[in-house]
Structure 1
Amino acid sequence: MDDQENQGIDCRLAQAISENADAVVIAEAVASLWLEFEAALQPIIGPAAVTALYRRSLNLASATTPGFNRVSTSSAEGNDVDGLREYLTQCSASDALTSGSSFLRTFHELLASLIGPSLAQRLLCPVPMDPLSDLPPQDVPP
């Protein structure tokens, strides 16, 4: 994944938190972003595949954040985002931000490796609420 895509993940996370956010706020933002990604992907690849991506992302991210090994993935749905949230709230704010970003980046990289970076970006990037509002009005023919 190139730096621009990683910056996109970091930017989305930064937009969701304030400058002096504590670990709880950061954990909520990471969990919220994950739930957005999950909601975007489940209708396309199904819950079992999303679960597999979640678990694999935690596993891969544990190479740089060993604490992810302790995150529970045993919920009935398989995506125990509460376990991720709980782990992040126990970190310092700085570590929660670094770890949360690492998890989200790893997930995005994994998805991009499977379906391609362009499609991954389109699936995970939010759609502007009113994309036509910035267009100038069309001239009405006389």
Structure 2
Amino acid sequence: MTYWIRAYNHQQYRVADFIRDHGFIDWGMHNHFEVGDIVFLYATAPESRLTFMMEVTATDLSWHESADDSAYFISQQAYDQWVSHREQSRYVRFSLLKELDCKALTFGLLMENGLGGAPRSPRRLMPAVVDYILNHL
């Protein structure tokens, strides 16, 4: 099992609303996620904190197998970009394990405890920061 961090921009897409409404989210798959991996979702500024603990429950989904989330786009530009390549993309499903609301899981404290830089694209987490996060759940 691998621990990941995945940032999201809540000014383009209502990630939190989709997860709360459905209990999962499908995301374009550009990394080598495996079923059982744990993904911490990180809300970018102004929140700048971990918001959800998710588990990878499906990989390599086609667009037709993924959930219709078009109603959750805020940015027309982001929606248009998604539509232009959705049929060629593969998707990964992250299922909700826990919603996070802990002051210890902010960007600054994560950096002090082993996070190697601002989360942008999905990346694996080092053991020190994983231990820190798990101790604050």
TM-score class, shorter? under 0.3
- Structure possessing the higher radius of gyration over alpha carbons: 1
Q: TM-score, normalised by structure 2?
A: 0.26
The structure in which a higher percent of residues are strand is 2
The structure in which a higher percent of residues are helix is 1
Q: TM-score, normalised by structure 1?
A: 0.25
